[in-house]
């Protein structure tokens, strides 16, 4: 029974969504719309689960004095401050939540991502080698795209931005499309395997 119920739910929900896609009429439209709303409700519930998990992990880390536990109080305090200000004052403009978000969360988030520039430069210096003809081709393409992506490229030679667009539109697109079609086929086959109960790993190891 523990196995049959989740398998039946998966099969019924999956079949309804497939039928709703190909036959967007009643009763499949009604059933499909309802399932989509259920999904949004379940996904919203997952946010609370994530918040509870965050608290659990960091409280445990502090209690057991695990590695880097000193950062956990900062995480917990930051989380609680944002939750409380959001619940008490709301999330509209010019309220404490908005002030904290725009003046603390946003700049700190942007700073973290900006650090990538330093690591990219260091990694490119150490790893980007024209060691064979394929690597040389990659290196040449990277140079053209990097120059085409900034105005100085057009100042050096006005054909560089055109070369960038050509590289992105033709060779890049061919490669990307191959990867995307391959991945999509994988998604379709895995989904069908799950709907028909062949793939059961999502049940947590039950067989």
Partner 1 sequence: MAGIYDKLSNLDRRIIFILIALAVIIPITTDLVIPNIVGQEPSRDLFEFVDSLPEGSIVIVSFDYDPSTMPELQPMAEAIVRHLFRDGHRIIGMALWPQGASLGQDAMSAFADSLGRAQYVDWVNMGYKTGGAVTIARLGTSMRAVFPTDRDNVPWDDIPMLRGVNNLEDIDLVISLSAGDPGIIHWVMMAKDRYGTPVGGGCTAVSAPQLYTYLQTDQMVGLLGGLKGAADYETLVGLLEGEATKGMSPQSVAHIVIMLFIVIGNVTYFMQKKKGGAR
Q: Counting contacts by CB under 8 A, is residue 47 touching partner 1?
A: yes
Q: Counting contacts by CB under 8 A, is residue 124 touching partner 1?
A: yes
For partner 1, which residue of 149, 187, 188, 198 counts as binding (CB under 8 A)? Answer: 149
Q: Counting contacts by CB under 8 A, is residue 14 touching partner 1?
A: no
Q: Cα separation of 207 and 198, whole Å?
A: 10
Q: Counting contacts by CB under 8 A, is residue 109 touching partner 1?
A: yes
Q: Counting contacts by CB under 8 A, is residue 162 touching partner 1?
A: yes
Stretch that binds partner 1, among 2-10, 43-51, 60-68, 195-203 (CB under 8 A): 43-51
Task: With CB under 8 A as the rule, give the number of residues binding partner 1.
Answer: 58
Q: Which two tokens stand for residue 33?
A: 């719309």
| Nearest to 79, CA basis, from 68, 87, 67 | 87
Q: Counting contacts by CB under 8 A, is residue 99 touching partner 1?
A: no
> b/e map of 140-166 (b: 16 or more CB within 10 Å)?
ebeebbebbeeeebeeeeeebbebbee
For partner 1, which residue of 43, 48, 64, 68 counts as binding (CB under 8 A)? Answer: 43
Q: Counting contacts by CB under 8 A, is residue 113 touching partner 1?
A: yes
Q: Cα separation of 202 and 200, whole Å?
A: 5
Q: In this complex, which beta carbon is closest to partner 1, that of residue 4 or of residue 133? A: 133
For partner 1, which residue of 8, 51, 59, 180 counts as binding (CB under 8 A)? Answer: 180
Q: Cα separation of 131 and 122, whole Å?
A: 18
Q: Kindly give, in sequence order, each residue whose CB lies less than 8 Å from that of residue 5, ignoring residues fewer than 6 positions away.
A: none
What are the CA-CA distances from residue 147 to residues 44, 168, 189 (Å)? Answer: 43, 13, 41
Q: Counting contacts by CB under 8 A, is residue 150 touching partner 1?
A: yes
């Amino acid at each position: 029974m523990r196995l049959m119920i989740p398998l039946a739910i998966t099969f019924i929900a999956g079949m309804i969504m497939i039928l709703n896609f190909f036959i967007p009429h009643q009763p499949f439209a009604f059933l499909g719309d309802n399932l989509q709303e259920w999904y949004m409700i379940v996904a919203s519930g997952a946010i609370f689960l994530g918040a509870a998990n965050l608290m659990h992990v960091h409280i445990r880390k502090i209690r057991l004095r695990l590695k880097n536990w000193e950062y956990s109080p900062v995480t917990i305090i930051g989380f609680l401050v944002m939750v409380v200000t959001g619940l008490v004052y709301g999330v509209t403009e010019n309220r404490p939540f908005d002030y904290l978000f725009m003046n603390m969360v946003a700049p700190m988030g942007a700073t973290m991502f900006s650090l990538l520039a330093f690591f990219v430069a260091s990694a490119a210096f150490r790893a980007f080698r024209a060691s064979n003809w394929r690597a040389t081709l990659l290196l040449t393409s990277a140079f053209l795209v990097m120059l085409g992506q900034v105005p100085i490229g057009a100042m050096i030679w006005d054909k560089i931005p055109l070369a960038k667009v050509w590289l992105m539109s033709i060779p890049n697109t061919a490669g990307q499309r191959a990867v995307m079609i391959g991945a999509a086929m994988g998604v379709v086959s895995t989904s069908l395997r799950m709907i028909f109960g062949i793939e059961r790993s999502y049940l947590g190891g039950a067989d």
